[in-house]
A and B are shown apart, each in its own frame.
Chain A
Amino acid sequence: MAHAGLPDAGRLIPPRPALAAKARLRYDRTSGGYMLLYPERGLALNPTAASILKLCKGELTVDGIVERLQREYVDRPSPELRQDVVDFLEEMARRGLLVEGT
């Protein structure tokens, strides 16, 4: 990721991210994975991405999300996992798919 580690990495991510109203997670029984649906678009999520978005309920901070994920991905070094979470959430935020939890 070009911007990884730069000061503004993650600048668009709300403090306690929640899925925007226009976005919806949907279990896809054809693939056995999750899809993120929003107007005229759909993203097939890998298992990590799906786990991250399921934690975006406006309650946890990015650090909180990383901490929770770490229980699932015990073998992943924490800084690496954090970077993945930040990169992914930044991309979601850039697409307008995250809002601050209420």
Chain B
Amino acid sequence: MSGSAAPRPYTLVAELTYACPLHCVYCSNPLDFARRHDALDTDDWRRVLREAEELGVVQVNLTGGEPLLRPDLEGIVEEARSLDLYTNLITSGIPLERERLERLGRAGLDNVQVSFQDPRAAESDRIAGHPSFDHKLQVARWVKELGLPLTVNTVLHRENLERIGEVIALAEELRADRLELANTQYLGWAFRNRAALLPTADQLQRARSLAAAARKRLEGRMEVVFVVPDYYVEFPPACMDGWGRRFMVVSPDGLLLPCLLAHTLPGLSFGNVRERSVQELWTSSPGLAAFRGEAWMPEPCKSCERRTVDFGGCRCQAYFLTGNAAVTDPACSLSPHHALIEAARVQAADPPAELVRFSYRTARPPSDPSL
């Protein structure tokens, strides 16, 4: 690789399909997912894995949509295993039978991450827009019975943050090896549903304390990860560890991306793995070059000493909030657009009296033209 060339990627996020039986109100897929079609066949994915590994990738997250909807998932896992990639299946657990999980385990899965939308069945099914909680429990138990490591993931928001203690208890009961308590980040579907999902500062603080206590108590047995929403930080985290830096995402339609939503930002072009090699795209795709490194940065990032820590925050968040992906992430307290975040916090603390309705993830194209 030449001097100013792309850094080494470590993780491939393989989005095998946008199809999913669930309709979660904070889904991280693009709003227009239904217009994008699964374009990669088994051989394409096998080649993507090989080329990514050659470039330095050591971990692959198989995700979607729901990766289990791909009948060729076993073959993809086998290829990942033959390349010695650490292979993590990120799933809702729907649809899955024990025999198939056993086959996937034999094919070489290193870890299975099962999502629970809530620790209570009725609430979980309501957020998912699909009766799924009971089967998820069954799947999580099979994972452990088959000797596979289990991650329990729950996405947090104002309706379930108060039940974080129950989430922790559920993960303990399931003997999870890792618990991901990931607050919603307000992009895509979650941005549409922000008024219904954004917690108050107090809710968040209480949940954070409970998570910290659990982390200490379960130390050595269960890794407890608590991810704060960007809306309540002073400085944004390094989104994806920096644009086009350590993570590469391949979308179901074959685009090589720096994150899950980059292809929805206007004016950026990302090449397709059906036409070019992963290496060529990683090193020379104009979309990846656009926000890599520091050259693109405006003030206050440009002269900020944190620019090599947070890389200017999240480009998609900048776009969703300001319509311009090339400004400092408004989540940063130094951003000239930070008032947008403060206003959302104020609204969360004092919500409108009328019922805020969820917009479920559906195939119907969103009507809001600004998105």
Interface residues of A (CB under 8 A from B): 12, 20-22, 24, 26, 28, 30, 35, 37-40, 42, 93-96
Contacts and interface: CB of A to CB of B under 8 A. Distances in A.
Interface string B52-64: 0000101101000
B58 A28 contact: yes
16 contacts: A21-B147, A21-B148, A21-B177, A22-B111, A22-B177, A26-B86, A37-B59, A37-B86, A37-B110, A40-B88, A42-B86, A94-B219, A94-B220, A96-B177, A96-B219, A96-B222
B113 interface: yes
Contacts of B130: none
The interface size bin for chain B is 20 to 34
B142 interface: no
A20 B177 contact: yes
A39 B178 contact: yes
A58 B177 CA distance: 19
B8 interface: yes
B149 interface: yes
Given A22-B178, A24-B86, A39-B111, A96 B59 contact: no
B111 A12 contact: no
B220 A26 contact: no
Give the residue among B8, B148, B177 with the most A Cβ atoms within 10 A. B177
Contacts of B151: 39
B54 to A, nearest CB: 10
Give the residue among A22, A38, A39 with the most B Cβ atoms within 10 A. A39
B90 to A, nearest CB: 10
B84 interface: yes
Interface of B: 8, 10, 56, 58-59, 61, 84, 86, 88, 110-111, 113, 147-149, 151, 177-178, 219-223
A72 to B, nearest CB: 25
Nearest to B88: A39
B148 A12 contact: no
A17 B147 CA distance: 18
Contact of A96 (B88, B110, B220): B220
Given A20-B177, A21-B147, A42-B58, 6 more contacts: A26-B86, A40-B61, A42-B59, A94-B220, A96-B222, A96-B223
A26 B84 contact: yes
B58 A37 contact: yes
Contacts of B8: 30
B272 to A, nearest CB: 26
A14 to B, nearest CB: 9
Contact of B110 (A12, A24, A30, A94): A24
Contacts of A35: 58
Contacts of B84: 26
A94 B111 CA distance: 19
B113 A39 contact: yes
Contacts of B88: 39-40
